Amino acid sequence: MLLRDMPSRAWVATVLQWIRTIALATLFLALGQVLDSAIDGGNTSAAMILAAAAGGVAVVCSGIAAALPPRLRAVEERLWRGSGIRAVLHRDPAASPAPTTAGRSGGAHGGAPRGGHGGAKPGGGHAGARPGSGHGGVRPGGGEAELLTGGVERIAEYRAEFLGPALAAFTAPALVLLLMGVLVDPVIAVLLLALVLLVPLLVRFFLARFRGPTAQYRRLAGAATSRFQEVLRSLGGLVLLGAENTGRKTVAEAAAALRVQAVALLKRSQLMILVNDAVFSLVMITATVALALWRFQDGAISEGDFLAVVLLATLLYEPIDKLGRSFYVAMAGRTQQGMFTQTLTTPGTTDTHTTDTAVSPTAGTAARTSPVNFTETESSGDSTDPGHPLLRLESLGVERGGSSVLSGLTLDIPRGSTLAVVGPSGAGKSTVAMLLQGLLPAASGQLLLEGRQADPRDLQRAAVTVAQKPFLFSGTVAENLRLARPDASDEDLWEALEKARLAAEIAAKQRGLATQVGEDGGALSGGQVRRLAIARALLSDAQLLIFDEPTADLDRRAERLVDESLQALAGEHTLVIIAHRLATTRWADQVLVLDSGRPAGLGTPDDLLQQTGYYAEATAGEGEHR
């Protein structure tokens, strides 16, 4: 357990602690010799020099061993947080960076995360890139935000500051007892060994007792953060509705639940400290003194040996002492590490269309316990099979919340074609988008990607969704674009902007690609934000680009520009456009009309306009309102 999680650099602290233990044992043995020599009237100087030297080594090793973990902790924090952020980013179809090659400091299993791809499932239902949600989709959910902040700190503390010293502390008794057995008295050493062997049993007992409450505490902390974020995000709406108190109550309830769990956890911690200090150390010292007295009275050991044995015993309860002091660090760190790996890198849950590495879908237990186990897989991005349409849907059905929301959907989406999906509210348009992006499973029928049965991971890699309100990070235009391809040159960025019909407007800005934008767009208009998201999606090299109501809430001019930018992609890219405004579907190759979860029409815009039905009626209605 310890070894698997331990970063390789933490071994330095472990080795230093081992040297310190041997030095301290040497010091105690030398002090025993000093006492014996003093009693016998012999020369004590050699033993005193040895004691002083050993003491010096112990002090130096302790100093270095104490200085190392905080540095390692900073490295671990950076790597884990980087890995988590990348996993979240990769979930956003419009923000899927190609892999970087950040450093790797770990051993075979326990290394720090490297810049690979974390699979990421829509975090606890809050953060997924739900195409129809109208949100950017990249924001981490509350639980994930908690993981990426406090969680990462706990993980780094556990891996960098607990594991190395803990391993040293747990193995130190073996060294001490060996020295005691060889140099003082094997009988005392063997009997104390029996007592020391109780430690692993105690550790198991407490681990089992703490695991549940710690995990529960972390879950509640995540839920509280999530509620808080939700309330913050919807504060404006809540105020308008006069419902601030509801928001306040929600947060207060989550905080109260967290408080109760925190108190329960503290109580258990106190119990642990009591067991450590009052029981184990007392038992250990009493037993050692009793054994030493017994052996001394039998004449088996000298006064000096007696002193050495008692002093050496103080090194024996180091493991339980360490455990008592840092138990919470270990439990919190392990729990967070497990949650981090599950939430941000669970195999088979996401990782969009990335171009060269991905989480192994078959990753085993080791992979699930550490986000470092990214395996290289082949890109699915470029493989094309001209014999098949890019996507084929055969009698597809989808269920949500236990009810059928889509059924009997059959259609082909050829490579380079544009499909517009239209229909009244609740017809199932977003459901189709989620299905095509691998975010919802098919309940019936089949979905073929290039002629092969597509599983959600294939679809997540192949498709990218540009959400209705794309999320921009605080940073420059270039930084926001490079989320999709970190190694893109400025030329690549301009090319993508050109295709998205945004290049001229960015070039006209004083700072060009270095123009600062923010979460709300900053220097950009709503339409420009959407075209920036289109450019970002283009940079990702996805096979399928899904646009979720790309022109919703835009004025006519902005709508026209976004529409032009989409048209410019037609033919070269495979597009699926979820459209409210039918004007944006006029140039589509085929239009799918949905009604109450069933296909109510499929054809070219012209064909559908000739027929009576939703498409013709809604198009006419739109014309009247313009």
Which residues form the interface with ligand ATP (CB under 6 A)?
132, 400-401, 405, 423, 425-431
For ligand ATP, which is the closer residue by CB, 392 or 580?
Answer: 580
Instruction: Closer to ligand ATP by CB, 79 or 432: give it.
Output: 432
Answer for the pair 395, 410: CB distance below 8 angstroms, yes or no. yes
Cβ atoms of 547 and 576 within 8 Å: the answer is yes
Minimum CB–partner distance for residue 459 and ligand ATP (Å): 17
- DSSP-based three-state secondary structure for 421: strand
Dihedral of the alpha carbons of 390, 503, 137, 574, in degrees to the nearest 10: -10
Chain-centroid distance, C-alpha 275: 35
Pick the closer one to ligand ATP by CB: 96 or 431. Answer: 431
> Least distance from C-beta 599 to ligand ATP, angstroms?
13
Using DSSP's 3-state secondary structure scheme, residue 554 falls into: coil
Instruction: Give how far Cα 332 sits from Cα of 207, 221, 340, Å.
Output: 11, 12, 12
Rank residues 124 and 132 by Cβ distance to ligand ATP and give the closer one. 132
Query: Please, what is the minimum distance in Å from the beta carbon of residue 443 to ligand ATP?
Result: 12
Give 13's Cβ-side CA count (13 Å radius): 25
Task: State in angstroms the smallest separation of the CB of 600 from ligand ATP.
Answer: 12
The sign of the torsion formed by the CA atoms of 283, 289, 290, 291 equals positive
Non-local (6+) Cβ contacts of 156 within 8 A are: 73, 74, 76, 77, 80, 333
CB of 350 to ligand ATP, least distance (A): 18
User: Closest by alpha carbon to 155, among 3, 287, 354, 331?
Assistant: 331
Residue nearest ligand ATP by beta-carbon distance: 401
Shortest distance (Å) from residue 398 CB to ligand ATP: 8
The smaller minimum CB distance to ligand ATP, of residues 364 and 426, is found at 426
Question: Are the C-beta atoms of residues 517 and 531 closer than 8 Å to each other?
Answer: no
Choice between 113 and 428, CB closer to ligand ATP = 428
Nearest to 616 by CA among 422, 447, 486: 422
State the minimum distance, in angstroms, from the CB of residue 613 to ligand ATP: 16
Q: How far is the CB of 428 from ligand ATP (least distance, A)?
A: 4
Per the listing, tokens 């970190």 go with: 486
494-525 in b/e form (b: 16+ CB < 10 A) is: bbbbbbbbbbebbeeeeebbebebeeebeebe
**Beta carbon nearer to ligand ATP, 406 or 539:** 406
Q: Which is nearer to ligand ATP, 101 or 425 (CB)?
A: 425
